[in-house]
Amino acid sequence: MPKVRIPTPLRKLTDGEAQLTVEGDDLRTVIDNLQARHPGLGERLLDDDGQLRRFVNVFVRDEDVRFQQGLDTEVGETDTVSIVPAVAGG
Amino acid sequence: MTTPLTVPSPSKHPAGPPEHPADAPHHTGPADHHLGVNVLGLRCRECAEPEPLGASHVCSFCFGPLEVVYDEELQQRRVSRHRIRSGPHSLWRYGDLLPVLSDDDRTRVDLGTGFTPLRPAPRLAERLGLNELWLKDDTRNPSGSFKDRVVTIALSAARALGIETIACASTGNLANSVSAHAAATGTTAYVFIPDDLEQGKIVGSAIYGANVVAVHGSYDDVNRLASEVADVEGWGFVNVNLRAFYAEGSKSIGYEIAEQLGWRFPDHVVGPLASGSMFSKIHKAFGELRRFGLVDGALPRMSGTQATGCSPIAEAFERQSFDVRPQKADTIARSLAIGNPADGYYALKVADETGGIIGHVPDDEVVAGIKLLAETEGLFAETAGGVTVANLMRFAEAGLLDRDERTVAIISGSGYKTIEAVAPTTGPTFSVAPSLDDLQRALGR
C-alpha cells in the first residue's frame, strides 16, 4: 500500500504517527481513506470545494501533484505521498 | 553601511562579559534603546485561530500559515517618531514594530542591517519618463541583500526560543545571510541550496563556515526537502518553522522608505517577487505606519516584477485570478526562481487592492536592466534588480507609469553575487600594452 508522510502539525490527528500506509490508487482516494481513518485530516488538506488548499503542497513520487493530475494523480503500491506546507521564500 | 559589532559597556551588562562568545550581545544601538517583549503569540493568517508562541509555522486547525500577534496596546504606547529617530542606524530602530520575543537585549542580533540608503535616481527617472524616482539600495546590507533583514529577526527569535542550530532553504541570498549571521553569533548553520547556483552565492555561503548542503534539484525541490528536514531535526529553519518571525523583517523596508522620505508615503513602490513575502510585508508596514499615526495619506500602489522564466504570480495577474499555478523555473534570475510561491496569493491581493501591476520580462531584458541601472545610477544590482528595472521600462513603454508619481524601486541584492549574468557581455573597453603610444592608438588619437 502507498505510504503517506505526515508533517508534524498534522500528527496530533494521527496519534503522533509520522507515516501511514493507506489504500488507494489515486490521490483523491488516498485522502478520502486518510479522512476516514483519522477524521479531520482530509479537511486540513482540501477546501470546501474539495480542491487542495492553496497553501498545501502534495508530492507523489517526489513530484508536486499540481504538475501531475492533481487529485487524480495515480498512486502506486510502492509510492510515497508527502504532504508539505508552503514555506516562505529564500 | 555595515556597522561593526560593539563590545557592550559594563554599565549595560553589569553581570560582566558572557561566558561564551555565542552569548555575546550583537546589539549596536544606543544603550537607552531597550526593547521589551511585544509579541502575544501566533495566529493563523487564514482562519485566525491562535497558536502558542514557538518554532511553528502551520495552523494546527486549518494548516494555513501563521503570523505574529503583537501587543498592539503596548505598541501604541511606545511607538513614536522620536523614539525611532533616537534608535540605532539599523532596522532595530523600528524594533517596537518588529517581533521581540525576549526582554534580554542579548538575544537580539544586529550586524548593522537595514537603514540602507534611499537614493534619488534622476538619470534613470529620465529614461523612464518619471519626474521622481528613488532607489531603495538594499545591496548595502552586511551580506549584500535584503535577506539580512529577515535573518536578523528570525535568528533573534531563534535565540530567544533557545534554538541552537539554524537552517534555511535558499535561492542563494538567504543562504549567504544565514551563514554570515551564524558565523557572527557562533551558531551552527545548515543552508540548503540548489547545487547549480551562481558561484558567488555558493562561495558567499561557504566562506562563513556554514554547512552548505547542495541539493541536486530546483529551489522548489530544496524547499520541500527543507520542510521535511525541519520536521525531523528540530532545527530552526528561518523560512520554514521560523517563518512567522522571519517574514516580519521585510516590513523594515517600508518603514525606512517612509521615514527617509520625511515621514511621507511614496505614490508607487515597485519591487521583485519571488515568494511574494517581502512585497506584501512592505505593504503591511505602510498600513502600520498609518495606523500608529506616524504617516498620513493614501497607501502607495504596489507593483511587482518577475522574470518570464519564472512568473507564476505575473501569470495569475494576467488572468485576473488569485489562483497561482506553479511553474518549473527557468531563468537567470535565480534569486526569484520560486515556481511555487507561498505568498503569491497575498502579493496578488496587495497589487489588486492598491491598483498596482505585476509584470514579467525575458532574460535578455533582465541583463539590459542590470546594465541600465549600473550605467545611469552607478548601482550594480543582481538579477532581481535587473528584473525590476526592466519591468519598469516595460511599464513606462506601456504607459502604466504616472510621470508625477513619486516612485520607489526596491533593489534587493548586489550584482557581485551574480557576475555570470552580465560577464559574457561585459568586459574591458580597451586592451592595451603598458605603453602610452598603444593607449593613444586605442583611443584613436
Distance to chain A for B268, nearest Cα, Å: 23
In a domain, A24, yes or no: yes
pLDDT score, position A55: 86
pLDDT score, position B30: 59
Q: How many domains does chain A have?
A: 1
Mean pLDDT confidence for B129-154: 98
pTM equals: 0.92
In a domain, A64, yes or no: yes
Cell numbers at B212, concatenated: 552548505
Mean pLDDT confidence for B225-239: 90
Distance to chain A for B210, nearest Cα, Å: 16
3-state secondary structure chain B: CCCCCCCCCCCCCCCCCCCCHHHCCECCCCCCCCCCCCEEEEEECCCCCEECCCCCCECCCCCCEEEEEECHHHHHHHCCHHHHHCCCCCHHHHHHHCCCCCCCHHHCECCCCCCCCEEECHHHHHHHCCCEEEEEEHHHCCCCECHHHHHHHHHHHHHHCCCCEEEEECCCHHHHHHHHHHHHHCCEEEEEEECCCCHHHHHHHHCCCCEEEEECCCHHHHHHHHHHHHHHHCCEECCCCCHHHHHHCCHHHHHHHHHHCCCCCCCEEEEECCCCHHHHHHHHHHHHHHHCCCCCCCCCEEEEEEECCECHHHHHHHCCCCCCCCCCCCCCCHHHCCCCCCCHHHHHHHHHHHCCCEEEECHHHHHHHHHHHHHHHCCCECHHHHHHHHHHHHHHHCCCCCCCCEEEEEECEEHHHCHHHHHHHCCCCCCCCCCHHHHHHHCCC
Q: Is a pLDDT exceeding 90 seen at residue A20?
A: yes
pLDDT score, position B16: 37
Q: What is the CATH number of the domain that holds A11?
A: 3.10.20.30
Q: Is a pLDDT exceeding 80 seen at residue B32?
A: no
Answer with the residue of higher pLDDT: B175 or B18: B175
pLDDT confidence band for B231 (50 / 70 / 90): confident
Distance to chain B for A31, nearest Cα, Å: 15
Chain A CA closest to residue B248? A88
Domain boundaries, position A34: 3-85
Mean pLDDT confidence for B138-163: 98
Contacts with B, A 44-83, CB within 8 Å: 44-45, 53-57, 59, 62, 64, 66-67, 82
pLDDT score, position B20: 47
In a domain, A30, yes or no: yes
pLDDT confidence band for B62 (50 / 70 / 90): confident
Q: Is B342 within 8 Å of A82 when comparing Cβ atoms?
A: no
> pLDDT tens, B171-212?
999 999 999 999 999 999 999 999 999 999 999 999 999 999
pLDDT confidence band for B2 (50 / 70 / 90): very low
In a domain, A49, yes or no: yes
Q: Is a pLDDT exceeding 60 seen at residue B97?
A: yes
Q: Is a pLDDT exceeding 70 seen at residue B68?
A: yes
Q: Which among A12, A55, A82 has CB closest to B342?
A: A55
Q: Which residues of B touch A10 (CB under 8 A)?
A: 60, 63
Contacts with B, A 7-36, CB within 8 Å: 7-10, 12, 18
In a domain, A90, yes or no: no
> pLDDT tens, B99-133?
999 999 999 999 999 999 999 999 999 999 999 99
> pLDDT tens, B325-334?
999 999 999 9
Residue corresponding to grid cell 492553496? A54
Q: Which residues of B touch A40 (CB under 8 A)?
A: none
Collect all residues with Cβ–Cβ distance below 8 Å to B421 and sequence separation of at least 6.
Answer: B198, B332, B366, B367, B370, B382, B383, B386
Mean pLDDT confidence for A48-53: 91
Mean pLDDT confidence for B346-363: 98
- A80: which strand partners? A3
Domain boundaries, chain B: 118-144+249-423
Q: Is B63 within 8 Å of A56 when comparing Cβ atoms?
A: yes
Mean pLDDT confidence for B350-357: 98
Q: Is a pLDDT exceeding 50 seen at residue B273?
A: yes
pLDDT score, position B1: 38
ipTM of the complex: 0.88
Q: Is B325 within 8 Å of A56 when comparing Cβ atoms?
A: no
Collect all residues with Cβ–Cβ distance below 8 Å to B304 and sequence separation of at least 6.
Answer: B270, B271, B272, B273, B276, B279, B313, B314, B317, B347, B351, B356, B357, B358, B359
Mean pLDDT confidence for B274-285: 97
pLDDT score, position B27: 54
Q: Is a pLDDT exceeding 50 seen at residue B157?
A: yes
pLDDT score, position B6: 35
Q: Is A89 within 8 Å of B324 when comparing Cβ atoms?
A: no
What CATH architecture does domain B118-144+249-423 belong to? 3-Layer(aba) Sandwich (3.40)
> pLDDT tens, B292-320?
999 999 999 999 999 999 999 999 999 99
pLDDT confidence band for B26 (50 / 70 / 90): low
In a domain, A31, yes or no: yes
Tell me which of B58, B225, B343 to substitute to probe the interface with A (most A C-beta atoms closer than 10 Å): B58
Q: Is a pLDDT exceeding 70 seen at residue B28?
A: no
Q: Which among A44, A82, A85 has CB closest to B57?
A: A85
